[in-house]
Structure 1
Amino acid sequence: MSGTERPLRVLFVCTQNKLRSPTAETLFREHPGWQVASAGTARDAEISLTRDLLEWADVAVCMEKRHRDWIRAKLGGVLPDARLLTLGIPDEYGFMDPELVTLLERLVPLRLAGTSPREV
């Protein structure tokens, strides 16, 4: 990283913030050049997605299209559409499920390839 760039801030989003997005956060916590967090769109999520969290992020990686649509409806304009990525991973995996880990390890780097942080 050059002196003017900071780590890419990646926010993983699912519904309850109990299984998929915390798995992604755990998996990519030590990824070089990334700072990661996770949140959920449901009112009773472990960590609820807020405007502040979305403003912190350079990119939101949504597990499903409905999460991206929720962000557009409730927090539209905080991040440009190009920074709202969707993986298409359904809610059928447990926390750190090996199949989920494999999907995330394959899809997340592909979706984030070429994404750089905003200038500081």
Structure 2
Amino acid sequence: MNILFICSRNKWRSLTAEHLFKESTLHNVRSAGTAASARIKVSEKLIEWADLIFVMEKRHRDQLRERSPILISNKDLVVLNIPDEYQYMDEELIEIIISSVAPYISFE
């Protein structure tokens, strides 16, 4: 399964999630951001690639729906409700990400 994590700038939350799960033998994982200043900007190509998309906040989901409504309409998209309060690989952020995605997927 191809999994895409999205936050605003792809520097802290979504990048942390990508790095947590990038060694999985069960899934392919990437991350991106919605902001113009994002390290890697979310693109139609990334959305097409993804089977499952996790966004950190509702506003990220809303931005995807505005930009690519047709592509998003047939994707599994989950809002994790993780606020932009954490630094890259923050221990609390790691715990929140793991517990938030656990109901949806398993990782090795």
TM category (shorter chain) comes to over 0.9
Q: Which residue of 2 aligns with 1:3?
A: none
Q: Which residue of 2 aligns with 1:95?
A: 88
CA distance in structure 1 between the partners assigned to 2:74 and 2:99 by the alignment: 22
Q: Which residue of 2 aligns with 1:18?
A: 11
Using structure 1 for the length normalisation, give the TM-score: 0.83
Tell me the amino acid that sits aligned with residue 97 of structure 1. Answer: D
Q: Which residue of 2 aligns with 1:116?
A: none
Tell me the CA shift for residue 31 of structure 1: 2.1
Please list, as runs of the form range in 1=range in 2, the aligned pairs for 1:101-120 lying within 5 A after superposition: 101-112=94-105
Q: Secondary structure at the match of 1:102?
A: helix
Please list, as runs of the form range in 1=range in 2, the aligned pairs for 1:10-89 lying within 5 A after superposition: 10-80=3-73, 83-89=76-82
CA contact (8 A) 2:51 2:75 kept: no
Paired residues, what number?
106
Q: Secondary structure at the match of 2:72?
A: coil
- State the superposition RMSD in angstroms: 1.3
Structure 1 unaligned spans of 5+: 1-7, 114-120
> Which digits, 9 at most, give the CA deviation of each residue in 1:53-88, with x for residues without a partner?
100111110000110111001011213366111100
> Which digits, 9 at most, give the CA deviation of each residue in 1:38-58, with x for residues without a partner?
000001100000101100111
Using structure 2 for the length normalisation, give the TM-score: 0.92
Tell me the CA shift for residue 111 of structure 1: 3.0
Tell me the CA shift for residue 33 of structure 1: 1.1
Identity level (%)? 43
Q: Secondary structure at the match of 2:46?
A: helix
Q: Secondary structure at the match of 1:89?
A: coil
CA contact (8 A) 1:59 1:79 kept: no
CA distance in structure 1 between the partners assigned to 2:9 and 2:54 by the alignment: 15
